[in-house]
A and B are shown apart, each in its own frame.
Chain A
Amino acid sequence: MAVSSAGIPQHWRTIKERYRLLGAHCERCGSNYFPPRNVCPRCRRRGKMAQVEFSGKGKVYSYTVVNASSKAFEQYMPYVVALVELDEGPRVLSQIVDCKPEEVKIGMEVEACFRKIFEQEDGGIISYGFKFRPSDGSWACRETGQRSS
């Protein structure tokens, strides 16, 4: 199956980017890219790419609530999938967590957090990466049972 049978080498190759939101920055034109690219599509051979770690802060550009998923994600349903526009420009696709699905809106400010993404069946490897949560700190109040004002 497409999602859950990917081997360890395939996961290993993208761990840095998935764990730390590492992208590419073109030193010639200033464009930022995520996922990282080897060549700047604007500058092509003239561009000079360098690694950059994004702040993890951004806004929801679009979102949906998933009610039918592949098997690996069934336990999380219904869950929010969003395109998040990072403050540095690039967009990333991610789940939005630590809030109710109906609280998510276009333009909502969010921040990256590190989470489990899915587990392979039969005790296979566990995949980690970023998810995003509201950056107003409401998730912290929810965890301690307090109400934010």
Chain B
Amino acid sequence: MKDLAWEAGVKAVEEAGISGKDIECIVFGNMSGGLFVGQEHVAALVADFLGLNSVPATRVEAACASGGAAFLQAYMAVASGMYDIVVAGGVEKMTDVGAGQATSILSGAMDYEWEAYFGATFPSVYALMARRYMHEHGLKPETLAKVAVKNHYHGSLNPLAHFRNRITEDEALSSPIVADPLRRYDCCPVSDGAACAILAPLEVARKYTDAPIRVRAVAQASDTLSLLGRGDLCTLRATVKAAGRAFEEANLGREEVDVVEVHDCFTIAELLALEDLGFCKKGEAWKLYDEGQTYVGGKLPVNTDGGLKAGGHAVGATGIKQVVEVVRQLRGEAENGRQVDGAEVGLTHNVGGTGATAVVAILSR
């Protein structure tokens, strides 16, 4: 785990052109180092391993939104004026345990007493949302498959993706059922990974680069931990709330966004995200997929790094990984033909559990 964090940290520091001694604060997202590798106190370990022993280092935990939540805390640390150069990172080492145990650990992101206790798994609660969405909005399995096919295609263009193979709609539709109606290709993998971003006030960043990427807004919202008290199962209210606040703070409209990284832990989650973020009406995300608009080159390129599905979902790192991809896109540095032409504004959307936490960030050139 510390090697993953170290690699991401060193690359971020090198790319930013800063030196380790410029770093004043470290915020690291990590869901469950304790259960995955027996290690808590993760942020101090990362600081130690990066050779930054005296720098204050804090771990942030919000299940799969740990990275996004860490990004908000790092943003606040800079915006408050307390620190100039802050590392926002995330790490998760998930593959040391078997699949059954990983399923069990991840179920801790739900309500233990009233969901996991009764046999609910993480895919199964998203399957409950998918089934209800099918009932209310007439979703076809083919649309879910299109989400996976698109994300695998983008993943094939990303050298850092977990899966770089392309798949067909037929392969997705004939893969084994995990929790009906969700199949294997509807579910993101269990991944190892880390990501880091360096935040600084604009005037400080300009000393290091001619083309700093601006954080226009970061907003976070919460909802019930379990699905029991949700009302509408087809809407993640935390996403709606966080997106509303982020767009208001950034003073930008949906139509001004050029590239989007959303939390596709399951294919259904990507459809819900685009609707809840306000890019289309409830029940109509399928149209974007029928028309192929979510590919690079389309009207609204979504998850150009392969998303969680193909890019990988090292839970604590995901929120930062999304920021890294959007930064690449806004700088025009995305490799292998996955660059969105002239991308000026990008958005990230990171979800914890089944929507008990959502973090939305808007970045621009």
Residue of B nearest to A118 (CB): B119
Chain A, interface size: which category?
35 or more
CB of B231 to closest CB in A, whole Å: 9
Give the number of residue pairs across the A-B interface with Cβ within 8 Å: 128
> Can you list, as one digit per residue, whether each of A79-104 has a CB less than 8 Å from chain B (1) or not (0)?
10111000000111111000001000
The distance in angstroms between the C-alpha atoms of A101 and B177, with both chains bound, is: 14
User: Is A139 on the interface with B (CB-CB < 8 A)?
Assistant: no
Q: Are B227 and A68 in contact (CB under 8 A)?
A: no
Q: Which residues of A contact B135 (CB under 8 A)?
A: 62, 106
The distance in angstroms between the C-alpha atoms of A76 and B120, with both chains bound, is: 12
Question: Which of the residues B99, B128, B178, B228 comes within 8 Å of A92, measured between beta carbons?
Answer: B228
Which residue, B114, B123, B124, B135, has most C-beta atoms of chain A within 10 A?
B124
Interface 9-residue window, one of A1-9, A47-55, A141-149: A1-9
Chain B, interface size: which category?
35 or more
User: Is A14 on the interface with B (CB-CB < 8 A)?
Assistant: yes
Residue of A nearest to B35 (CB): A2
CB of A74 to closest CB in B, whole Å: 7
Q: Which residues 111-128 of B sit at the A interface, judged by CB distance below 8 A?
A: 112-121, 123-125, 127-128
> Can you list, as one digit per residue, whether each of B211-234 has a CB less than 8 Å from chain A (1) or not (0)?
000000000000000111110010
Q: Are B101 and A64 in contact (CB under 8 A)?
A: no
User: Is A129 on the interface with B (CB-CB < 8 A)?
Assistant: yes
CB of A110 to closest CB in B, whole Å: 14
Q: Are A117 and B119 in contact (CB under 8 A)?
A: yes
The distance in angstroms between the C-alpha atoms of A106 and B114, with both chains bound, is: 21
User: Is B107 on the interface with A (CB-CB < 8 A)?
Assistant: yes
Q: Are A1 and B177 in contact (CB under 8 A)?
A: no
CB of A24 to closest CB in B, whole Å: 12
Q: Which residues 209-268 of B sit at the A interface, judged by CB distance below 8 A?
A: 226-230, 233
Q: Are A63 and B104 in contact (CB under 8 A)?
A: no
User: Is A126 on the interface with B (CB-CB < 8 A)?
Assistant: no
CB of B35 to closest CB in A, whole Å: 7
Q: A2-B35, A73-B119, A93-B226 are in contact. Are A62 and B104 (CB under 8 A)?
A: no
- Contacts A2-B35, A93-B226 supplied; 9 other A-B pairs, CB < 8 Å: A18-B117, A64-B127, A67-B178, A68-B179, A69-B100, A70-B104, A72-B104, A83-B227, A106-B132
Q: List 18 A-B contacts (CB under 8 A).
A: A2-B35, A6-B112, A63-B131, A64-B180, A66-B124, A66-B179, A67-B180, A68-B103, A68-B121, A70-B107, A74-B100, A81-B121, A83-B128, A83-B228, A94-B118, A95-B118, A101-B180, A106-B132
